[in-house]
Amino acid sequence: MLSSVVLKIGHNNDIIKDANINLFCAFTFPLSPCLFLQGSMSSGHRLRDVEQQHPLLDGEEAAVGSAAGEAEQVWFIQDGCGMVCAFITWFLVLYADFVVTFVMLLPSKSFWYAVVNGVVFNCLAVLALTSHLRTMLTDPGAVPKGNATKKYMESLNLKPGEVIYKCSKCYSIKPERAHHCSICKRCIRKMDHHCPWVNNCVGENNQRFFVLFTMYIAMISTHALALSGYQFVTCVKLQWSECSDFSPPVTVMLMIFLCLEGLLFLTFTAVMFGTQVHSICNDETEIERLKNEKPTWERQVRWEGMRSVFGGKPSLLWINPFAGLRLRRLLATRSRKAGPEFSV
């Protein structure tokens, strides 16, 4: 049920009889209070939080300090499950690289077959792991904590009848299409979902890297399966002891596990890649689709949506996870903890 409170605010934040600002607090969602401003407003908005259980911060120091600190940080979520999943991802990719390089390619009698496939597979593996790192260490679009201050709200220059939302969990003003993540403990702009395999939310700033990660994992999985099939055929025609430097039982076990891993990864990442491209082309996040939210924004569909996520016109930069990486700035950042995320 929608409830609202109407207050008239004076200079000293007391309720008075004569004022020209009405402040409505409508709780459209249990966790997303809404502040509705109506009437003629002067340059100095007189505001008061009517949520007694979650009052606005008294000063702007928290919001300013939080924004300044986050500007120097490299994003990293301190979540045990996510860190374990990220480690498993790296382990499986490096395991596949080990089997392909040392079990299949180096013992091959064809020099160019080993060189070409080795270069292609290792390049794809590097691109996949780089995309994983960029997804994991990039701020997905977190709204600054505690920015629901009086000074910040005054700086918004709100128009009569304009609606703003305040998150009651992280005390921030929520932009349109932002959702709160219980793992990151932040509101994330254009949050699609939280992925434990990258130990991060997929949002406005890192969706591109997540799409590249799923694409490159699907590619190396397909490559590994093709090499495994060719290796099995070759070893059946020849002696198993001649097609690998490892013993036949070890070779078979390593290749069977690689095939299972490749099938699992290919299925998962191909589905995720298709889902992400579909979401981008329709300008609709997974959360918005599941909640069946009606768009109140101007949609950027198809190529417009792709350009908004990947940036600029179609080029090789779209598939380059190193694009925009400022290593000097990364190395210059100071280590500093800040809640569930910290800088490195």
User: Where in the sequence numbering do the catalytic residues fall?
Assistant: 195
Which residues on adjacent β-strands are paired with residue 268?
A: none
Closest C-alpha among 133, 124, 121, 123 to residue 87:
133
Chain centroid, CA 233 distance in Å: 41
Token readout for 175 is: 């932009």
Determine the residue type at 158.
Answer: L
Q: Are 233 and 243 in contact (CB under 8 A)?
A: no
255: amino acid identity, one letter: M
Q: How far is Cα 146 from Cα 200, in angstroms, rounded to an integer?
A: 21
Where would I find the beta strands (DSSP E) of 121-177? 163-166, 173-174
Radius of gyration for the alpha carbons in the chain, expressed in angstroms and rounded: 26
- Report the amino acid identity of residue 27: F
- Judge contact between 273 and 218, C-beta under 8 A: yes
> For residue 75, what is the DSSP state?
P
d(CA 337, CA 143): 17
Strands laid side by side in the 32-38 sheet: 6-8, 22-29, 32-38, 163-166, 173-174
Q: How many CB atoms lie within 10 A of CB 286?
A: 15
Burial of residue 260, with CB atoms counted within 10 A of its CB: 0-12 exposed, 13-18 middle, 19 or more buried: exposed
Element at 170 (helix H, strand E): none
What is the C-alpha to C-alpha distance for residues 253 and 276, in angstroms, rounded to an integer?
Answer: 34
Q: What is the DSSP letter of 293?
A: P
